[in-house]
Structure 1
């Protein structure tokens, strides 16, 4: 199986690579259109700031490539947010795979960013959570969120309920870092690779 990890100026790629190493999968970290198009699975990870990340994706033509992919794509953290319509982070226009806005957490009593382990609850048919409990603990680091919407396949509650996972067609997305979410995160990655 050919796995492409999309290369762009967003961090946390190393932990994705370690997660794939742990389960014995080979991958390429690349921004090459042909390599990405020909991969069996594509992972779009990220830690970073929306407008900077989108500027790089546009410069490389990846903003057009990613939404056109036909194979299974897994986006995590800012990767998920960049697949949404737009983000309140520096008023950024994103890729619009999910027709959903990304909003900034606002709270007078809870710490922002939302950092640490929190529970997610599967909603409806969530193929990536097959073999897991309906409620699992995973690791989050984010100040922005996608509201609960028709694409939501798992929710989390912090400040208010928000989308922990989204899915539309061949696009799967997680707000949390599956690659550092212990056995639950590893199972989610394995379920994605088994699609």
Structure 2
């Protein structure tokens, strides 16, 4: 019952080939999302209660240097063939990086929301509540609009507003793989 085995599942999984577990793309995407979320959490930790609007990341140049170094190391293991073999991962395309960013960015929005609630209800700072709430609403609204017009959302929910979106979800294939799902 671990990821190297392919058994059971009944009719739900009978059409799935076990080779899907050998595809490095899901592992690469998961690792990239994890790394990106942790880098964004580092940015979030600049202040416990202050918004990133009031205390932007460039206030701490050492943090930006550490993030740049970490992302450079991550890029190195993604794009150098030796490290691809060692870590059993593969390079990501620009579309896959876009998906990584869209999956990771809500950590900033969630933390900004929690900081806003902390300032509003814990600190008791009722001044400029409307501007803070407006910023949060605009921020979340933009995220959901971008999510709605993305290939990931379209593929998951069957919407087809882009010409390059897969319209037949019955024959969905993994990127860079011949394995049908």
Is this a same-fold pair by TM over 0.5? no
The structure carrying a bigger strand percent of its residues is: 1
Higher helix share: 2
- What's the TM-score, normalizing by structure 2? 0.27
TM-score by length of 1: 0.25
Higher RCO (CA-CA < 8 Å; seq separation 6+): 2
